[in-house]
Amino acid sequence: MGKFIICFLLCSMFFCYVNCIEPPIDEYDCFLNFITKINFLSIFPKTNSTLYDFCTGYIKCDEVNGKIKDISIKNIIPSGYNNQSILPTDLACLPNLNKLYLENLNISKQLVFYQFPQKMGQVTYNYGDYECSSIDQKLPEIPFFYFYCKFISGTTLKMSYISKQTFFELGDSFVHFENDVVATHNISMVSFTAYSLNFADFSNFQGLGFFKMTFNQDFIISSIQNYSTIKSNSIQIEHNIDIPYPFYIPINNSTQRLSVYARFEKPSSMIDLSSLVYSDLSLSGVGDKFNLNGEIPIIPPPGCNFIIMHGGFTSFQSNFSIALPSYSGKNTMFSMINNNLIGTIDESWCNGIKIPTCFTCYFSDPAVYTSFSGNQFTNYNQSIGCPEFAPRFELMDISTKTFRVTGINIGFTPMNWLLNSVYFPYNSQAISTGYEYVVSYLFSIIPNPKYFGILFVYPAPPQTIYFPLGDQFPNPTGIKITSNQLLITGELFSSYMGYSNQSVQFEETSTNCTIKDGNFFNITCEFVPSSISTLTYPTIIKIKNDNLTRRVIVNPLIGQLNQIPCPNSCDDISNSICDLNQGICISCVDDCGIFGECNFQTKTCDCDSNHQGPNCSIPFIQCPTGLNSLICSSVDYKMCNNQTGVCTCSPNQQGQDCSLPFKQCPVGLDSLICSGGNNNCNNQTGICYCDSKFTNDDCSKPNQYISSVSPSNTNGGEASFFGWFGDIHSNPSLLIGNQQCQPITYNSSIEIRCIAPPGNGVYDITFNQNYIMYQLRNGYSYLEIFRNCPNNCTNSNQGNCNTSNGECNCINNYYSFDCSLKRNNNTGGNNGGNPSIDPSTGGTNITDNQVNFQIYFINLFEIDFNGNIVNQYSLQSNWTLNKTKDSQENNIYKLTQIIQQSCEIVTLIEEISTSKQYSFAGSTFTLDAGSIKLTISISNYIYKSSLNTLQLQLISSVDNENEESDCNIKQVSTNETNTSSFKYIKISKDNRVLQGRFINQILSDGRPTYLSTDIKSDGNSVIATLNLPHFVNQSIIDPDFSVLLENDFKSECDTKNSREWLIPVAVVIPVLSVCFIVVIIYIIYRKQFIEKPLKIKLAALGN
């Protein structure tokens, strides 16, 4: 006997020597000093006469280096603790500490607010019977913070103090919460649990997965409104049930699961919760007043797990479908104790499970059985068994041994689930009562690293069920083959629980073996004997559990027992499987990596479709032609690199499969670049495609044009020509008419300067360089030093000529551009009719009595170098009208049309209410009151050639409904007047005059240049052609118009005659840039010779 004791002691010492873990010496001494200070040393065993085993159930140490990671100390010794205060200095010498749990100890305030230098994961401070200080400052940045103290009730806790916590719990004292955080600052918290006196404003709390508040009799009822600010997946509220509260549940629809323990006031009507989105709703302790005539006063949300308890209900009502209701939602638990209900519990209360297994499975537990007492249910029978019971434990955190528990009929009491048949849960949380829980076995031991067992005390009889620790491959250790069955032994099989799709298959023939029976350690499956008759050794059996697959090699002879285990099931050897017939690991010669799978029969790698080679590390990319061949489409080279998928082409071919021809362009090698700008080479044809700025075979020569000119005066001098000329200037020359502009003093890609000879008038411009000629017709107009006025202002008694700008200054009550008309009793000057704009056609109609003026656009033409039309756009539709006002409240009308997808034509019509000076394109002139100014622009026009220009065609007509006896009736007459600055047109009809002024300047790409205008009259029509130079971005013209009365106009006649006149006036406007084209005509004399405000004249334009 003595020898046995000595042997036992020696074995124990040897076992501890091999398995005991000791902290490093500095941490050992630190913890020894701390535990000695509080007089708790006696709870730790000794490893020898001098050393203590600190790495026990209370303390968790690193399994490799022994560093102390978790400390859990609870004072349960009645007289052992010496009440010493625990300070930060006691634990600061443990640099690897991650979790700290202290209960019923004297914990200092300094420790509570101490920021550990290391990243601390979790602290629990439970003061028990010891006093504490309130939380009056920001807590340290520790994600899991649990605080329990009985002595701080009534204090205020500000939300900013807990803003760094992810999980926060406050218990044992009821405090007042105050949200002092800025409303725009969000607080991220996963779980919030607290004893409280009020609902605080939680609107800036984000990501709350779980929220729980417990209130006592001092709850501040006015804070109920803040309940609506809580946004959490799961909310639990507990009230003191001595006080009834209003039913405030409907004000919050921001949760999925809600549990409320409270006594509620009697409702005045049915409470409809059917519009809420709860998945779980539990109401308990509702009180005997919470009913309507004995009925449940709630219409619950559809599809909701609904619980209501302690209500004293006497019957069910229509909102629960039938007298003893069939409930459409998924229920968790329904307590019916002492409610005087009758009938049978319908199976719908258990979500379709055989009635009433969710309850009767636990009728062997008196607490469940008695919950249904006091009623008259016909199926209230304690002998009902539990045919369906299938719990499932899923590992969440191995360090705390925390599991998620779900399944079928798992019950309501986690304390009945014993780990390894010994350990009760350290704590548990009901996520969905009866359906989902989170349990932790903090101080328990799990001996097997791959699985564990849970003893379920209920349903009776107790039974142990095994579960894997995380994802574990099924592990067969023995397979016996009978005539039609496989008998498999091992561990980590799961199909018997019904939670995974487990299958068994003969891999070579893909023959499935149908599972008939099994448990965690055994599988019995059946197969068709003829399906494996051709199999020989070695044969692979594949056992698959969802996405986890284990293969083993067996001898398929009938009666053969394959049960020789391999070392560690071959898990230590990559790409290997166990041969259970010989007990050896079989693997491929090469490591197949992540792109291949070992063929254990051939011991070679089977690669996926994108890889090749012995170890599947070489990429495989199919060439465009052939399968795994080396053939491409080239007639000269037929080589395919199937590692890159690229064909090697001959010098005359190209493309992925070498099927396209290759011809070298004039510039570059195998590129697609030609000379100049963004020019492209088609290397299948060898031809360069030039952009609009370049020409020639290789796009090397600029495709030159002139967009604007800054001319000299009649004495000659330096003139500037703007446009595009490129960077190559070979033999440049420039002619104004037939005279050389020389010498050329400056040239660049956008400007040419030269000395113009003396001259006057308008001339063509001819520019030569790089053996390319460009001509701009009527492009050069000499600037006159003294400018003449139209008709010399008629005579000196009617007006004076301003030679600086070529305008007449009329005197003696004369007016018009040449002072030819005089205001008298019959002619009040500018007059207005009833103007309107038709946005669909872009036409303008101005009507006064029987006279109607019409002006509208017909076409926009693109003209080539030879004067031919190469593009034509109809402008008789698709206009849009927009009306605005300027700073003086004058109306401005904008007509817009889009052509070529991006070319915008815009006309702005502006009324002139008072005479003013106006400048445009370097010229200054006067706009009389009552006239209309037009600004016409064309933007982003795309030409077919840089030599082309634009023309705009405008038609004007007059309808006259005067009777033939009208004394004002006169035939149509037209007049054209030219000066050095302006071109005037005058159209007279029935003593009414429409005059238009065209300034001989435009803005072409932002620069002023000469505008030539041709007027042609042939009887009843006037055609005006405005010729603009080529532009790139925008071209703007700026004419103005007015309607006048002639001197012999009469307001009354003795007789009336009726006639109709039609006067077409075509104005062709060629535009080289961004063109704004506008309908222009305004002002017609007014009835009864009384001049009205100009705003009335144009008011109708907005219609």
Q: What would the 3-class secondary structure string for 762-806 be?
A: EEEEEEEECCEEEEEEEEEECECCCCCCHHHHCCCCCEEEECCCC
Instruction: Provide the mean pLDDT of the chain.
Output: 80
CATH architecture of 704-781: Sandwich (2.60)
Nearest to 930 by CA among 1081, 793, 813, 807: 1081
pLDDT of residue 1024: 74
For the chain, the domains span: 251-385, 390-468, 475-587, 704-781, 826-973+1001-1009+1018-1102
Separation between Cα atoms, residue 819 and residue 813, nearest integer Å: 9
Give the distance from CA 746 to its chain's centroid.
Answer: 55
**Least confident window among 220-229, 509-518, 717-726, 992-1001:** 992-1001
Tokens 């400018």, located at residue: 787
Amino acid symbol at 187: I
Torsion of CA 243, 246, 247, 251, to 10 degrees: -130
Residue 858 has pLDDT above 60, yes or no: yes
pLDDT at site 536: 87
Q: To which H or E segment does residue 987 belong?
A: strand 982-989
For 305-366, the DSSP string reads EEEE-S----B--GGGSSSS----S--S----TTS--EE---GGGGTTSSTTHHHHTTTTSH
Residue 988, pLDDT > 90, answer no
Per-residue pLDDT tens for 634-690?
Answer: 555 557 777 887 787 777 787 777 778 888 777 654 455 676 656 677 878 878 877
pLDDT at 864 over 80: yes
Whether residue 967 contacts residue 1054, with contact meaning beta carbons closer than 8 Å, is answered with: yes
pLDDT at 945: 83
Dihedrals phi, psi of 410, to nearest 5 degrees:
-80, -10
CB 1075 within 8 A of CB 939: yes
Contacts of 919 (CB under 8 A, 6+ apart): none
* Res 717: pLDDT: 94
Burial (CB < 10 A; 0-12, 13-18, 19+), residue 675, is buried
- Ramachandran assignment for 60, one of left (phi > 0), alpha (psi -120 to 50 degrees), beta (any other): beta
DSSP 523: E
- Is the Cβ–Cβ distance between 199 and 227 less than 8 Å? yes
Per the model's pLDDT, the better-predicted residue between 424 and 352 turns out to be 424
**The predicted structure's pLDDT at residue 634:** 56
- pLDDT score, position 330: 39
Report the DSSP pairing between strands 376-377 and 342-343.
parallel
Contact 48, 15 (CB under 8 A): no
* Whole-number CA gyration radius for the chain: 50
Q: What is the mean pLDDT of residues 723-736?
A: 91
Q: For residue 470, is pLDDT > 90? A: no
Q: What is the pLDDT of residue 989?
A: 64
pLDDT above 60 for 355: no
Backbone angles phi, psi at 619, to 5 degrees: -65, 150
Among 827, 802, 826, 805, smallest CA distance to 815 is for 827
> Does 105 score more than 50 pLDDT?
yes
User: Residue 16 has what pLDDT?
Assistant: 44
At residue 578, the pLDDT reads: 92
State yes or no: pLDDT of 294 exceeds 50. yes
- Please tell me the predicted confidence (pLDDT) of residue 1080: 35
The SS3 call for residue 213 is strand
Pair 181, 199: CB distance under 8 Å:
no
Within 10 Å of residue 595's Cβ, how many Cβ atoms? 19
Question: What's the confidence (pLDDT) of residue 316?
Answer: 52
Q: Looking at the predicted structure, is the pLDDT value of residue 377 above 70?
A: no
Contact 875/896 with Cβ under 8 angstroms?
A: no
Identical fold between 475-587 and 704-781: yes
CATH domain 475-587 topology: Immunoglobulin-like (2.60.40)
Measured CA to CA in angstroms, residue 136 lies from 112, 133, 148, 187 at distances of: 11, 8, 15, 19
Band (pLDDT 50/70/90 cuts) for residue 332 is very low
489 contacts: CB under 8 Å, gap ≥ 6? 476, 477, 478, 479, 521, 522, 563
69 near 98, Cβ under 8 Å? yes
- Asked if the model's pLDDT at residue 229 lies above 90, the reply is yes
Higher pLDDT, 706 or 662: 706
Closest by CA position to 1081, among listed 994, 961, 988? 994
CA distance 8 to 522: 37
Ranked by mean pLDDT, which of 328-342, 483-497, 551-565 comes out on top?
551-565
Give the Cβ contact number of residue 54 at 10 Å.
23
Number of Cβ atoms within 10 Å of the Cβ of 932: 26
State the average pLDDT over residues 770-792.
Answer: 89
Distance CA 420, CA 464 (A): 8
List, in sequence order, every beta strand (DSSP E) within 878-931.
880-885, 891-899, 903-911, 916-920, 923-927
Number of helices followed by number of strands (H, E) in the chain: 7, 82
pLDDT at site 217: 95
What is the C-alpha to C-alpha distance for residues 994 and 407, in angstroms, rounded to an integer? Answer: 94
User: Which tens digit of pLDDT belongs to each residue from 383-422?
Assistant: 777 878 889 998 999 888 999 999 888 888 899 999 988 8
> Each residue of 880-913: pLDDT tens digit?
888 888 777 777 888 898 998 889 998 888 877 7
In angstroms, rounded to a whole number, what is the distance separating the alpha carbons of residues 492 and 502?
11
pLDDT at 106: 95
Could you tell me the pLDDT band of residue 1091, with boundaries at 50, 70 and 90?
very low
C-alpha distance from residue 272 to each of 148, 231, 296 (Å): 39, 21, 11
Please give the pLDDT value at position 853.
64
Query: For 806-829, what is the mean pLDDT?
Result: 79
Beta-carbon-side half-sphere exposure of residue 1097 (alpha carbons within 13 Å): 30
Give the pLDDT of residue 1101.
36
The pLDDT value given to residue 356: 60
Q: Which residue has the higher pLDDT, 322 or 376?
A: 376
CB 990 within 8 Å of CB 972: no
Over 90: is that where the pLDDT of 455 sits? yes
Query: Parallel, antiparallel, or unpaired: how do β-strands 502-506 and 539-545 relate?
Result: antiparallel
- Distance between CA 468 and CA 472 in Å, rounded? 6
Quickly state the pLDDT bin for 353 (edges 50, 70, 90).
very low
More confident residue, 978 or 810: 810
